[in-house]
Amino acid sequence: MTRKLDTARREFLKKTGLAAAAAGTGALAAPAVHAAGRPIKWRLQTYAGPALAENVIKPSIDKFNKIANGEMVIELYTSDQLVPTNELFRAMQRGTIDAVQSDDDSINAPVDVSIFGGYFPLALRYSLDVPTLFEQYGLRKIWEEAYGEVEGVTWLGAGAWDPCNFATKKPIRSLKDLKGLRIFTFPTAGKFLKQFGVVPVTLPWEDVEVALQTGELDGITWSGITEDYTVGWADVTKYYLTNNISGAWIGSYFANSERWKELPEHLKTLFNVCMDSSHYHRLYWYWWGEAHYRVTGGKLELTTIPSEEWKTVEDAAQKFWDDVAKTSPRRAKVVKIIREYNDVMRKAGPPYRY
């Protein structure tokens, strides 16, 4: 797999002019202007590896290419295949990648709301919390405002993915069991978990399974149980902690602003519809998988930290929110909305909150 990815990167560098940039030109080549009558071509890279991409994005891209009927073709690339995930924002900004599916946090988006992308600790309970916050509680407007201040990249919309749980080689039944664990996780989640003794480790996505086998990693806090089984991590870990640090991942679609502006309105609309189709597919796929694999998976033993002890984590999350809110007025606004939303959910009672 690594050789294939390296070969793909080399070919990409040749085609886009990145090889010249690496040699010291300092400039990244933008895609060539499309000749009249030829299909518009985009390169879209997702955060997800090949097995995961089959469910989180590929069906919607296949639909787009079919419905576009030759007017436009989107080439889909998986995690780190052309550009390392943490460099995706800059590559997209310069035009070497036309579009991206990822969370703001992992691609180092230079906006203050990026800290909320991915897994913001204990902010969400269920996947439906994400679209509700964006479409009914004003987060869409805030994200559009934030990305409107950055040149070269247009934020297109956010959706929900799976929760964030620990899958490890050693059982976790108490907070003390977290101490010293080398864990692959997201940037903000890693910062939060450090206070409990977790050692966050950054690796290319495709190297995680091998790192678990060799002992470089003790576990992952990157997904829910659906992904653990889908991508093979359930084969190299033994335990799954049912307490999660977030009930859903906030992921987004982004595009190079010039490429987006160049699209005719009907293709913009088609992209947005297919993006919504992707959001819908994930809602039921993850909802099914998180229950199905807990009950019938058979590979991972479930463990739980007692609720009275887990409250320590929940209280720490509130302090984390307070600290984040102090860093910018817009972050403070997002934290306020998240608090108000969760207060409404608690007051509404079951099935919103138990």
Per DSSP, the residues of 292-305 read: HHHHH--SSEEE--
Q: Is 352 helix (H, G, I), strand (E, B) or coil?
A: coil
Asked if residue 45 lies in contact with residue 77, where contact means CB atoms within 8 angstroms, the answer is yes
Amino acid at 11: E
Q: Could you state, in order of their start, the residue ranges of all structural domains in the chain?
A: 2-160+249-289, 164-248+296-348
Quick one: pLDDT band at residue 149, thresholds 50, 70, 90?
Answer: very high
pLDDT tens, 275-317?
999 999 999 999 999 999 999 999 999 999 999 999 999 999 9
Is pLDDT at 222 greater than 90 in this prediction?
yes
Dihedral sign from CA coordinates of 341, 347, 352, 354: positive
Instruction: For residues 286 and 290, give the distance between their C-alpha atoms in angstroms, rounded to a whole number.
Output: 6
Asked if residue 89 lies in contact with residue 114, where contact means CB atoms within 8 angstroms, the answer is no
* Architecture of the domain spanning 164-248+296-348: 3-Layer(aba) Sandwich (3.40)
Quote the tokens at residue 333: 């606004």
pLDDT tens, 232-263?
999 999 999 999 999 999 999 999 999 999 99
Asked if residue 277 lies in contact with residue 210, where contact means CB atoms within 8 angstroms, the answer is no
Indicate the DSSP class of residue 12. H
Instruction: For residues 123 and 246, give the distance between their C-alpha atoms in angstroms, rounded to a whole number.
Output: 6
pLDDT tens, 39-62?
999 999 999 999 999 999 999 999
Q: Which residue spans within the chain are E strands per DSSP?
A: 40-46, 72-77, 99-102, 153-160, 164-168, 182-185, 199-201, 219-223, 239-246, 250-256, 301-303
Quote the tokens at residue 146: 């934030």
The domain covering 2-160+249-289 belongs, at the CATH homologous superfamily level, to Bacterial extracellular solute-binding protein, family 7 (3.40.190.170)
User: Do 2-160+249-289 and 164-248+296-348 agree at the fold level?
Assistant: yes
199 phi, psi to nearest 5 deg: -105, 100
Mean pLDDT, all residues of the chain: 92
Quote the tokens at residue 22: 């690496």
pTM for the whole thing? 0.89
Mean pLDDT, rounded, for 158-183: 98
Question: Nearest 5 degrees, angle CA 238-CA 242-CA 248?
Answer: 115
- State percent of the chain over pLDDT 70: 90
